[in-house]
Amino acid sequence: MRFLIAPDAFKGTLTAAQAAEAIAAGIHHIIPTAEIETLPLADGGEGTLDVLTAHLAHESNLVTDYKYVIYTDNDGEVVALIESARHLGLILPDMQALDVPGRGSGALGDCIRERLDAGIRRFVIGLGGSATNDAGLGLLAALGLRSFDGQGRKVSPDLRGVLLVNALDASGMDARLEHCCFTVLCDVDAPLYGTDGATYTFGPQKGLSADDLEPVDQAMERFAHLAETAFGHSVNKLPGSGAAGGLGFAFALLGGDLVSGADYVIEKAGMAERLKGVDWVVTGEGRSDAQTLAGKLPVKVATLARAAGVRMALISGSVDRTTMPELEKRFDRIISAQPDGIPDDPALKQAKSLLVDAAMEFGRIIG
C-alpha cells in the first residue's frame, strides 16, 4: 500500500516536515510494508519559507536568511521570498508583548524596503499566521503612506491608527513600487471586512474580544474606502484581501496578485505528479475548523487527490466537531490527534507522540 503524507505545519508545535515524519512513523508501525513518501506543504502561513526553500534547491544564486530567501528564477529574475509570519507572527515575543491595537505590519514593510534598496523588484510574499489586524496600514506606512486623524495629526501605523484614521496621503509612496511584481500567497480567501472578513473570522484568535469585533470591522471598512480613494482602485472584496489581518488588501492596493498559497505551494512541490500509484494521501494541520474550509491547505490537497481518484485522510491536532459534516464530504477518514478529555496545553506538549498515535489509529482502521 502506497501513501503520500502531505501536511501543513501544526502551528506552534510541529513543522510540516516534523508532522509528516510523525504520521509516517505511525503508519509504518502498523503497516510495516507500507511505501511512504513525505511531502511537507504550506499555504502561505507559518512554514511557507522552509517548504518553498526546499523546492528551490535547483534555483541559482540561492541566498537564505531567517526572514527571507533570495534566488534567481528560470527567467533570470532575482526574487525575494518573504514569509509574513517570520516578521509578524502570533508566536513572536515582540508581538505578544503588544496589545492587539498596538500591533502593526510595519516590520514586513521594512523588509520589503530593504530588498528594494538591494535592487530587487520581484517578490513572493506568504501571508498567514500574523498577529496583526491593521489592514496593512503599517506595511503601507513603511513604504510611504501618510495617515491622519480628524485633527490632521499623524496616526500610529497599527490597528489603533486604523481606528482613528480620517485621511490618507499616498503621494509619498516609494516610486520603486511601480516597477515591482508581488505574488501574494494567501492562506485564506476571506475578504477584508464583513462577517466573513478578517476581523470577525480571525480577530478572536489574535486577542480581540467579542465587543471589539463590530467597531474594528467598521474601522476596517472606513479605512478601505479611504485607501481605495487614495490609490485609485477598489480591491477590498477580492478573495484573500482579508488574509493576515488585511495584508492581502494592502498588497492588492500595490498591484499585487493575490493567489491561493496552498495552490502555489502544491504546484511548486509537484504534488500532482506524485499522486501516481498512490492509495492514500494523508494531510493535516494543527486544528481543522471553519477556517480549513475557507481555502486552507488540507482542503486544497483533498481537491487535487480526489480529482486523481486517490483516497484522502485528514489527521489534525484537533478537529472542530461542528465542521465534521462538511469535512466528511472531502475526506474518507478524519482523525483528531487530541484525545477526548485532554486539555489543549498538555496536548500541545505531547503533539508529536499524539500525532504518531493518531496515525497508528488510522493504520489500524485501513489495514
Distance CA 170, CA 140 (A): 9
Residue 100 zone, left/alpha/beta (φ > 0; ψ -120 to 50; rest): alpha
**What is the structure's pLDDT at 58?**
62
What is the band of 348 on the pLDDT scale with cuts at 50, 70, 90? confident
32 and 113 in a single domain? The answer is no
36 and 129 in a single domain? The answer is no
Q: Which residue has the cell 472542530?
A: 320
Residue 73 has pLDDT above 90, yes or no: no
Return the half-sphere exposure (C-beta side, CA atoms, 13 A cut-off) of residue 27: 24
Percentages helix, strand, coil for the chain (3-state, rounded to 5) are 45, 20, 40
What is the band of 66 on the pLDDT scale with cuts at 50, 70, 90? confident
Indicate the burial class of 251 (C-beta count within 10 angstroms; 0-12, 13-18, 19 or more): buried
Q: How large is the average pLDDT for residues 218-224?
A: 98
CB contact set of 93 (below 8 Å; sequence gap of 6+): none
255 and 329 in a single domain? The answer is no
Distance CA 84, CA 125 (A): 7
**Which of 220, 216, 253, 247 has its CA nearest to residue 234?**
253
The domain boundary, picked from 229, 262, 295, lies at 262
> Which domain CATH number covers 358?
3.40.50.10350
Q: Is the dihedral of CA 286, 211, 104, 290 positive or negative?
A: positive
Residue 61 has pLDDT above 80, yes or no: no
The rounded mean pLDDT for the chain is 94
325 and 342 in a single domain? The answer is yes
Residue pLDDT, tens place only, 253-262: 999 999 999 9
Residue 57 has pLDDT above 80, yes or no: no
Q: How large is the average pLDDT for residues 335-350?
A: 85
Beta bridge pairs of residue 312: 281
20 and 127 in a single domain? The answer is no
248 and 282 in a single domain? The answer is no
Residue pLDDT, tens place only, 246-296: 999 999 999 999 999 999 999 999 999 999 999 999 999 999 998 888 778
122 and 238 in a single domain? The answer is yes
> Which domain CATH number covers 198?
3.90.1510.10
Q: How large is the average pLDDT for residues 164-168?
A: 98
Considering its fold, how many domains does the chain have in total?
2
**Which of 142, 128, 52, 140 has its CA nearest to residue 91?**
128
Could you please report the per-residue DSSP string of 133-166?
-STTHHHHHHTT-EEE-TTSPBPPSSHHHHHH--
Residue 79 has pLDDT above 90, yes or no: yes
172 and 252 in a single domain? The answer is yes
**What is the structure's pLDDT at 339?**
86
85 and 176 in a single domain? The answer is yes
- φ, ψ for residue 319, nearest 5 deg: -130, 125
Range of the domain at 189: 48-262
The domain boundary, picked from 218, 234, 262, lies at 262
Distance CA 50, CA 85 (A): 12
Q: What angle do CA 125, 73, 241 make, to 5 degrees?
A: 20
Residue 93 has pLDDT above 70, yes or no: yes
Distance CA 186, CA 179 (A): 22
32 and 93 in a single domain? The answer is no
The domain boundary, picked from 262, 284, 313, lies at 262
52 and 112 in a single domain? The answer is yes
**What is the structure's pLDDT at 65?**
85
243 and 134 in a single domain? The answer is yes
